Amino acid sequence: MQTSVKIVIIGAGSAQFSAGIVRDLCVNKGLYGSRVVLMDIDERRLDFIEKLAIRMAQELKADLTFSKTTDRQQALKGADFVINTVQVKAHELEGHQWVELQRRLSEKHGYYRGARLHDYGQMAFHLEVARDVERICPEAWLIESANPVFEACTLMTRETKAKVIGLCHGHYVYREIAKVLGLDLKYVTAEMPGFNHWIWMTDFRYKGKDAYPLINEWIQTNAEEYWARDVKKFSDTQMSRAAIDQYKLYGLMPIGDTPRMVGWLYHSDLVAKKRWYGNLGGFDSEIGWQMYLDELNRKLSEIEQVALDESKLVSHTFKPEQSDEQIVPIINSLVNDVQGLYQVNIPNAGHILKGFPEDLVVECKAIINGSGVRGVGIPPLPERLITGAMIPRWHLAELKVNAMREQKYEYLLLYLLEDHRTKNLEQAESLLEEWLSDSHNDILAKMFKK
């Protein structure tokens, strides 16, 4: 069975991600006949991603049509699915350039590696998209794949009636645990609920048996040797000293991006980062993050070369097989009533995660089919995890969400005052003053007048 739908990719100039979505569409015949609209304000990138998409569909004989536009509202007309992948730009600055500028500004005021002020610009844009979806294509599903998923999805579902699903691939990193332990992945199962980038492995099984004892044994016998090795990979965090320390503190293993996010003590300076994440200091150190940006630029250059060189097969760069990304399988489940179990970020309706409000977005398993999305209930989390990590994280999210809803400067200030690096009121205020007066930050400056 195949069903024709209109799929809009907002921020299609994010070439690697967009090309991956196109590849997944090409190998899912149930969605053949669909129209894909590529939308971005960067016309150069838009041109080469369209060329790449058309060639990929031709190579794989996929019945899909593609068009491009820089007009978001025009793109949304008649959409069935809207995929938001945007890293917000600021005038002449690319998304990552603008993030780095804000990071350097925060560091100038004593916030090592930044204060995540760029999340506010992201949230403002994502809310704008959700309001457009609500107005122009109210029956469409809005699939949010750009950070901050936790706060942005909570904001969008509270402020609009858009049908929002937040997605991330961090939950797959439980496979790294299996790999380090030497387990055959086909016999491994895991459950990892929580908040996005704040998820915890509540169940871990190998051949049906509890596999947590295998982690405990590894900690006792192999961990020190593992941590002493010369780390080559910038994102090697899942079995880091920090992740194991968090496991001991809270009683469950943090999964995916969680070991990067939990606890200020692991990030006080580069020395601390190297202690907890290895000789590169982990993904978020000045060393690891630059390696990530370099790799991102290398991949972008490679994709652009493939797109512009018609002598090269696109399918050699993007292998014709379904990726780990859930976007296209979820669309297929909704459109063709193919029931599947997915890891998603959705409102906590019915208290999927006990102890938190129904209008807070949580990350959980969900059954998806033609009737929609139904979250699967989560067993109660350990009390010390709830009080020590989940409630504080929820508190910070509410500060960000309420800042955007009420557009009050005081929420920005309260957010910084919760940061352990803030030594006094003047430090926080001086950062906000310079940040809001930056010419690249004109939209937020209007929103948050002191």
Sheet holding 203-206, edge to edge: 188-191, 203-206, 209-210
CA 51 vs. chain centroid, Å, equals 27
Report pLDDT for 305.
Answer: 87
| Angle (deg, nearest 10), helices 425-437 and 409-417 | 130
CA-atom Rg of the chain in angstroms: 22
Specify the amino acid at residue 373.
V
- Tell whether the model's pLDDT for residue 307 goes beyond 80: yes
Report pLDDT for 91.
Answer: 86
* Per-residue pLDDT tens over the stretch 99-116: 999 999 999 999 999 999
Bridge-based pairing of strands 188-191 and 203-206 is antiparallel
Helices and strands per DSSP (H, E), number in the chain: 20, 15
From 132, 257, 267, 284, active-site residue: 257
Average the pLDDT over 308-314 and give the result.
Answer: 87
Q: Return the closest-CA partner of residue 426 out of 436, 416, 415.
A: 416
CA 143 vs. chain centroid, Å, equals 11
Measured from the Cβ of residue 423, the count of other Cβ atoms closer than 10 Å reads 9
DSSP string covering 20-84: HHHHHHHT-GGGTT-EEEEE-S-HHHHHHHHHHHHHHHHHTT---EEEEES-HHHHHTT-SEEEE
CA 263 vs. chain centroid, Å, equals 19
Collapsing DSSP states into helix, strand and coil, what is residue 361? strand
CA distances from 40 to 132, 356, 371, 416 (A): 15, 36, 31, 33
- Tell whether the model's pLDDT for residue 2 goes beyond 80: no
Mean pLDDT of the chain: 95
Q: Which of 14-18, 114-118, 384-388 has the lowest mean pLDDT?
A: 14-18
From 169, 351, 419, 438, active-site residue: 169
Average the pLDDT over 201-230 and give the result.
Answer: 97
Report pLDDT for 426.
Answer: 98
* Per-residue pLDDT tens over the stretch 134-149: 999 999 999 999 999 9
Q: Return the closest-CA partner of residue 166 out of 326, 344, 331.
A: 344
Measured from the Cβ of residue 83, the count of other Cβ atoms closer than 10 Å reads 26
DSSP string covering 282-349: -TTSHHHHHHHHHHHHHHHHHHHHHHH-TTS-HHHHS-SS--S--HHHHHHHHHHT--EEEEEEEE-T
Rounded Cα distance, 358 and 348, in Å? 4
* Per-residue pLDDT tens over the stretch 330-386: 999 999 999 999 999 999 999 999 999 999 999 999 999 999 999 999 999 999 999
Bridge-based pairing of strands 203-206 and 209-210 is antiparallel
CB-count burial class (<10 Å; 0-12, 13-18, 19+) for 381 = buried
* Per-residue pLDDT tens over the stretch 235-272: 889 999 999 999 999 999 999 999 999 999 999 999 99
Question: Could you tell me what percent of the chain has a pLDDT over 70?
Answer: 100
φ, ψ of residue 154 in degrees (nearest 5): -60, -45
Report pLDDT for 450.
Answer: 73
Q: Return the closest-CA partner of residue 188 out of 173, 200, 199.
A: 173
* Per-residue pLDDT tens over the stretch 159-212: 999 999 999 999 999 999 999 999 999 999 999 999 999 999 999 999 999 999
351 in catalytic set: no
Report pLDDT for 409.
Answer: 97
- Tell whether the model's pLDDT for residue 151 goes beyond 80: yes
Q: What residue ranges define each of the domains in the chain, with the CATH number in brackets? A: 6-168+299-333 (3.90.1820.10), 171-284 (no CATH), 394-444 (no CATH)
Rounded Cα distance, 409 and 394, in Å? 20
- Tell whether the model's pLDDT for residue 15 goes beyond 80: no
Specify the amino acid at residue 431.
L
Rounded Cα distance, 185 and 178, in Å? 6
CA distances from 20 to 38, 62, 72, 329 (A): 13, 14, 21, 13
169 in catalytic set: yes
Rounded Cα distance, 38 and 325, in Å? 18
Q: Which of 296-305, 395-404, 425-434 has the lowest mean pLDDT?
A: 296-305
- Tell whether the model's pLDDT for residue 3 goes beyond 80: no
Q: Contact, 51 vs 40, CB < 8 A?
A: no
CB-count burial class (<10 Å; 0-12, 13-18, 19+) for 136 = middle
- Tell whether the model's pLDDT for residue 1 goes beyond 70: no
φ, ψ of residue 68 in degrees (nearest 5): -130, 155
Question: Could you tell me what percent of the chain has a pLDDT over 90?
Answer: 90
